[in-house]
Structure 1
């Protein structure tokens, strides 16, 4: 009987222990890196990415249509003034020139015949065999023949010029930037075949949005840095502002003239910076790692030194500046916020200031182990 009572007591104690809940472990106190909110100078400078281009780019085409026979240049090749670029099949043009020369010969024969007739009839008039009216008719015939000869000569000159148009030559020294025709292709008169960026002044071409174009004016001073030439910035001036927006991007093209001494390879990337207008303004800039998303709000975690806790507070972000953001509302100068690790925090959580000491690291490690 005594053994039975002892067994029941043990079972009752075990049941009570099983029904009681194990208390949750205490939330570890996190070490956070804090920063004091302070204003800093914010420049109103704006920068745009552009491309270095030749000031003059000639899109050259044939004055006559025809079939491309040979192409003598490649993209990126340097050419000299007068150098042969592309040839058309000249067979049809040569035949047309020969036909024009034949018309000249025929017109010249008619002129010579009319001249001989006029001389013969003048001799007959002197002998009294023909009237003056007949002489006038023969003179008119000679004048018409001479006019036909002049017309044939002009047409022969045109056909001769067109025969020479079968060869497309560079108008100035430069670099071939694009080729739009291959051997065997039939091209129309005036269609661009080769584009040559002529040697000489260089421009930086970039685009600005509609809201900004009103403040850009011709002759305005800017700074340009060429990535291929290093970090140095060069002074430049706005040379051209597009009168209308691009139909697809709705941006305005701007051309900035570089100084002749600036070494700017064609196609290089350039950064164009507009000088800040007025004095610099003071603004609050925070690292982007200090911001978190809670619901629909962008928040920072504000540190309460008295309670050693953190609380989220919504802020208004105005702009981004590299790895930092400009905050215009929500926090005050002098407050401390968490600068990193905000994604693991919860409202009212206990935290300690991270000081980077070994003792603090060992203490936090022991807490985590428990």
Structure 2
């Protein structure tokens, strides 16, 4: 009976012997999996060289205006009975655009005509008396003083007639002023009156944008007004024609800042075709940045670091990126001038820097997703 356990043990030993290599292999595989971490794949990054900052420009939003914009108003007051134009209508010089009720003005004209007729009749009588008294004075039938008095009466009558004639001319002018006419060819930019409204003399009824040169009205911030001068070249781009720019120049800058926005109103004349810019359109004014030999990088390349600006630069020796502090100038529309911290030979990460970290392995590519060979010589200045 005691020999049976020993026999069972002898049968179990070969089975354990066969399982031991398998268990050992599994243990080794588990140990290797714990010790070996997968290698990090290089992240593709778009790279570029810094370019001369003369290619940068500060952009300002503006609006298309006419060089000459005239507020139109009646020279007399009255009730508006007819409005013949609306905003956007093109008018010719001398064209009637609105009419006031002329009833009172025509009555004043008739009254002035009657006064002139009475004054001319009185003048005729005074001249007849003057002629008769002159003959009587020659015959010494009246005194010299009487003749002088008659001469004075004739001159007074002449003055009254002249005054009545002038009053009639004024009344006729007033009656003509009941019609508001366009002073020149142009487009009605604004309208602030309507038929049936009583308007006062001098009250703005319309604004006429004269045909001819178009300008861009925009605002300059306080920090730039000292460096921008009239006559400085600019470029203008319409929002409706993106990518097409025309040359222009700063024509005027307001000497006083707007009390609300603290900006300075400015206007830039544009050398554009007559039909290229429409009144009221939005436009951009590009003011070239004076680079003074500095460089510029894409705006997307600039990162915030330790309260300042920095860019990721490729280290060719290790194929990794390092965060390079830089001193930047005023941001342009899509580029930023770099005053110090970079060299023209540096390879800069142009986009996606917010997804990187210092020391991360990268694969530089161009805009066509082709690998870029970054040499150590090209990045030697990045460490300066």
Aligned to 1:193, the other structure's residue is in SS state: strand
CA shift digits 1:4-24 (9 cap, x unpaired): xxxxxxxxxxxxxxxxxxxxx
Aligned to 2:203, the other structure's residue is in SS state: coil
Aligned residue among 60, 63, 72 for 1:60: 72
What is the alpha-carbon distance in structure 2 between the residues aligned to residue 176 and residue 210 of structure 1? 33
Equivalences for 1:306-321 in 2 at 5 Å? none
What is the alpha-carbon distance in structure 2 between the residues aligned to residue 352 and residue 291 of structure 1? 18
Equivalences for 1:289-300 in 2 at 5 Å? none
Residues 284 and 181 of structure 1, relative CA distance in 2, 3 Å threshold = closer
Instruction: Work out whether residues 188 and 207 of structure 2, in 8 Å CA contact, stay in contact via their aligned partners in 1.
Output: yes
Aligned residue among 217, 224, 239 for 1:205: 217
Residues 131 and 271 of structure 1, relative CA distance in 2, 3 Å threshold = same
Instruction: Work out whether residues 204 and 258 of structure 1, in 8 Å CA contact, stay in contact via their aligned partners in 2.
Output: yes
What is the alpha-carbon distance in structure 1 between the residues aligned to residue 327 and residue 103 of structure 2? 71
Aligned to 1:246, the other structure's residue is in SS state: coil
- Root-mean-square deviation (CA, aligned residues, Å) is 4.3
What is the alpha-carbon distance in structure 2 between the residues aligned to residue 225 and residue 269 of structure 1? 9
Corresponding residue for residue 275 of structure 1 = 288
Equivalences for 1:112-123 in 2 at 5 Å? 112-123=124-135
Instruction: Work out whether residues 65 and 214 of structure 2, in 8 Å CA contact, stay in contact via their aligned partners in 1.
Output: yes
What is the alpha-carbon distance in structure 2 between the residues aligned to residue 260 and residue 335 of structure 1? 37
**Which runs of 5 or more structure 1 residues have no equivalent in the other structure?**
1-27, 303-312, 346-350, 356-370
Corresponding residue for residue 240 of structure 2 = 228
Corresponding residue for residue 41 of structure 1 = 51
Aligned to 1:171, the other structure's residue is in SS state: coil
* Aligned: 1:240 with 2:252: yes
Instruction: Work out whether residues 285 and 327 of structure 1, in 8 Å CA contact, stay in contact via their aligned partners in 2.
Output: no
TM-score, structure 2 as length reference: 0.68
What is the alpha-carbon distance in structure 1 between the residues aligned to residue 74 and residue 87 of structure 2? 18
Instruction: Work out whether residues 70 and 88 of structure 1, in 8 Å CA contact, stay in contact via their aligned partners in 2.
Output: yes
Equivalences for 1:151-162 in 2 at 5 Å? 151-162=163-174
What is the alpha-carbon distance in structure 2 between the residues aligned to residue 105 and residue 286 of structure 1? 82
* Aligned: 1:255 with 2:267: yes
Aligned to 1:142, the other structure's residue is in SS state: helix
Aligned to 2:290, the other structure's residue is in SS state: coil
**Which runs of 5 or more structure 2 residues have no equivalent in the other structure?**
1-37, 314-322, 365-384
CA shift digits 1:252-300 (9 cap, x unpaired): 2222122253622222222211223144534676748x96999x99999
Instruction: Work out whether residues 299 and 315 of structure 1, in 8 Å CA contact, stay in contact via their aligned partners in 2.
Output: yes
Residues 317 and 286 of structure 1, relative CA distance in 2, 3 Å threshold = farther
Residues 330 and 37 of structure 1, relative CA distance in 2, 3 Å threshold = farther
CA shift digits 1:105-152 (9 cap, x unpaired): 111121112112222323333443311110110110111010111011
Aligned residue among 50, 53, 56 for 2:62: 50
What is the alpha-carbon distance in structure 2 between the residues aligned to residue 116 and residue 157 of structure 1? 27
What is the alpha-carbon distance in structure 2 between the residues aligned to residue 317 and residue 194 of structure 1? 51
* Aligned: 1:104 with 2:130: no
What is the alpha-carbon distance in structure 1 between the residues aligned to residue 334 and residue 117 of structure 2? 82
What is the alpha-carbon distance in structure 1 between the residues aligned to residue 240 and residue 189 of structure 2? 19
Instruction: Work out whether residues 45 and 362 of structure 2, in 8 Å CA contact, stay in contact via their aligned partners in 1.
Output: no
Equivalences for 1:10-49 in 2 at 5 Å? 33=43, 40-41=50-51, 43=53, 44-49=56-61
Corresponding residue for residue 12 of structure 1 = none
Distance apart, 1:33 and its partner CA: 4.5
What is the alpha-carbon distance in structure 2 between the residues aligned to residue 328 and residue 200 of structure 1? 42
TM-score, structure 1 as length reference: 0.70
What is the alpha-carbon distance in structure 2 between the residues aligned to residue 230 and residue 116 of structure 1? 82
* Aligned: 1:132 with 2:144: yes
Corresponding residue for residue 25 of structure 2 = none
Distance apart, 1:243 and its partner CA: 2.4
CA shift digits 1:224-269 (9 cap, x unpaired): 2223344122221222222222233222222212225362222222
Question: Number of aligned pairs?
Answer: 325
Distance apart, 1:53 and its partner CA: 1.3
